[in-house]
A and B are shown apart, each in its own frame.
Chain A
């Protein structure tokens, strides 16, 4: 399937899932309508962590194979992962205000997520300062493997430490009426991001190849050589 087709299907499904969650899913007993944030917050969180895990796999693959294709995929996955992680932090902060009474709390889940966003955004910033593709790929891969240690910490933080944040949602912990809009949005974000990452990885590869090619000879030099 073409990446742009994935983007269109993902975007359409996400729009449908959001309307389902906003208009047709029932309100939750204690959180009322505020619970509707769950239908976009949780898929964003799942996919954000998945994308940063994909970046970690690309980093390991680059170090093992030495193929710059893995570095292109790493950049694409990490960029999308940082966007989703930053978005999930904002969504969570807005959800926290009516439920916890504060916009932000230095809770283990929130703190580890903030570290995640800054660590990976820092690696992306670092990439821009390194021009030589092999050196950039090596430095990024090592930094990604170090930063990825925070991904399981984010996921398990609600179980490792006492946390205001609720434990991970699953079909066992969520009512059946809430599960389907959640699943639709999770699949939608996955398809959307899969399409965007494919396009972005191709773009990164194209720019790298264009940058690594020698500049064309000036016409005068070519004529002189004849």
Chain B
């Protein structure tokens, strides 16, 4: 045994896919809630 890890791309791809989904999902969630709060703010003022 050399102690080297062979392969493992499935773990790498899993991490990057999950990370992309979390970063994109969180950004979408922040922007969506921002738009909703702007609409609510307009309704409250009118």
Contact = CB atoms under 8 A, between A and B. Distances in A.
B15 A37 contact: yes
Interface stretch (A54-62, A123-131, A142-150, A203-211): A203-211
A97 B3 CA distance: 15
B46 to A, nearest CB: 9
Interface in A96-120: 97-99
Given A32-B8, A34-B8, A206 B23 contact: no
A202 B34 contact: yes
Given A33-B12, A98-B11, A83 B44 contact: no
B8 A91 contact: no
Interface in B1-35: 3-9, 11-12, 14-16, 18-20, 22-23, 26-27, 30-31, 33-34
Interface stretch (A162-170, A176-184, A192-200, A218-226): A192-200
A202 B36 CA distance: 12
A64 B12 CA distance: 45
Per DSSP, are chain B's interface residues mostly helix, strand or loop, or mixed? helix
A196 B19 contact: no
Per DSSP, are chain A's interface residues mostly helix, strand or loop, or mixed? helix
A90 interface: yes
B6 A32 contact: yes
Query: Contact residue range for chain B?
Result: 20 to 34
Contact of A210 (B6, B19, B20, B41): B41
A172 interface: no
A207 B39 CA distance: 11
A200 B9 CA distance: 35
Contact of A18 (B16, B31, B38, B41): B16
A8 to B, nearest CB: 10
B42 to A, nearest CB: 10
Contact of A22 (B5, B16, B40): B16
Given A34-B11, A37-B12, A95-B11, A200 B27 contact: no
25 contacts: A7-B27, A18-B20, A22-B16, A30-B4, A32-B6, A32-B7, A33-B12, A34-B8, A37-B11, A37-B12, A83-B22, A90-B18, A91-B18, A94-B11, A94-B14, A99-B5, A192-B27, A196-B30, A202-B34, A203-B34, A203-B37, A206-B37, A207-B40, A209-B41, A210-B41
Interface of B: 3-9, 11-12, 14-16, 18-20, 22-23, 26-27, 30-31, 33-34, 37-38, 40-41, 44
